[in-house]
Amino acid sequence: MSCKVIVEAAPQRVDVNARAPGVTVRPEMPILREIIGHSTYIHDQDVPASTWTINHNLNTYPSVTIVDSAGTCVFGAVRYANANTIVCSFSGAFSGKAYLN
């Protein structure tokens, strides 16, 4: 089985070559548009807080990973206010980063 995907930024070109029984891949398939248009956002929370409001403007509902200033993964309540804003609530105030993708 062989599958090759080449994505070039300019000029916009998607080259797909799939050789596997029963596999059909076309550039107009939605999954390729999602991969090509994928964005991430990193939120810096410099001031310790127990509630973080994150305005990411990704126009989607991304996954969220929170780390404190020591780099430890932190768990809290994540609420999607809308497709561009997330509110994270924690049991105590701290600073750190939120990684959205």
pLDDT in tens, 15-70: 444 455 555 555 554 554 455 556 899 999 999 999 999 999 999 999 999 999 99
Q: Output the pLDDT for position 39.
A: 81
Question: Residue 85 pLDDT > 50, yes or no?
Answer: yes
Q: Output the pLDDT for position 70.
A: 96
Q: Provide the strand spans (E) within the chain.
A: 2-8, 13-19, 41-55, 64-68, 73-74, 77-82, 85-100
Separation between Cα atoms, residue 30 and residue 37, nearest integer Å: 11
At 48, give phi and psi (nearest 5°): -55, 135
Q: Which among 97, 69, 99, 64 has a CA at the least distance from the CA of 79? A: 64
**How much is the pTM?**
0.63
More confident residue, 35 or 99: 99
